[in-house]
Amino acid sequence: MCPLPFLAAAVAASRTPLRLLGRGLAAMSAARRLKSVDYEVFGRVQGVCFRMYTEDEARKIGVVGWVKNTSKGTVTGQVQGPEDKVNSMMSWLSKVGSPSSRIDRTNFSNEKIISQLDYSNFSIRY
């Protein structure tokens, strides 16, 4: 492993004011926090490939968890991962969905910071 990138980073860091470094470290630690949230999506979300698109988007964003249809015509699931990525997925579940879907509302619950992930991938449950 070449030590030059580390040396360059150390030199650059030594020239950066400490107040800027402090903000950067705070932002980095927030991005590394793991978050978990449960969700339920209401609207026209069954029969429109919503679960498939959700699985695909979750894998693109880099979060883990699951998604499934409910007997009451909604889609429910859980998302876990770095806080910023979970927030991106929450936005997608609220505003985008699959091309043929219509999202009326999305309820989020049990939103919390976790110490480790409960899943190793994102899957569709039946």
Residue spans of the domains in the chain: they are 34-124
Token output for 123: 């899957």
Helix (H, G, I), strand (E, B) or coil at 21: helix
Q: What's the confidence (pLDDT) of residue 32?
A: 81
Tens of pLDDT, residues 2-41? 444 444 444 444 444 444 444 444 444 555 899 999 999 9
C-alpha distance from residue 51 to each of 2, 18, 40, 66 (Å) = 44, 46, 12, 9
CATH says 34-124 is which class?
alpha beta
Distance of alpha carbon 126 from alpha carbon 120, whole angstroms: 18
Tell me the catalytic residues: 51, 69
What percentage of the chain has pLDDT greater than the value 90?
A: 75
Token output for 64: 């883990």
pLDDT at 107 over 90: yes
Q: What's the confidence (pLDDT) of residue 99?
A: 94
